[in-house]
Amino acid sequence: MNVRLLGLFIACGLSIPLAQAQVLQPGLWELTSSNMQVDGQQLPDLQVMLGQLQNMLTPEQKAQLESQGLTMGGKGVRVCLTPDQVKSEEVPLTDPKSGCNQQITERSGNQWKFRFSCPKAQGDGVATFLSDREFTTQVNGTFNATGIQQKGSMDTRAVWLGQNCGTVKPRA
Q: Is residue 130 part of a domain?
A: yes
Indicate the number of domains in the chain.
1
Kindly report each contact of residues 118-124 with a partner whose C-beta sits within 8 Å and lies 24 or more positions away, as own/partner.
Answer: 118/8, 118/11, 118/12, 118/15, 118/94, 118/143, 120/8, 120/144, 120/145, 121/8, 121/11, 121/12, 121/145, 123/12, 123/152
Which residues constitute the domain of residue 86?
A: 3-162
* 10 within domain boundaries: yes
CATH number at residue 101: 2.40.128
Q: Provide the whole-model pTM.
A: 0.73
Query: Tens of pLDDT along 85-100?
Result: 777 655 555 556 677 8
Q: What is the pLDDT of residues 38-83, one digit of tens each?
A: 888 887 766 666 666 666 667 777 676 666 656 666 677 888 888 8
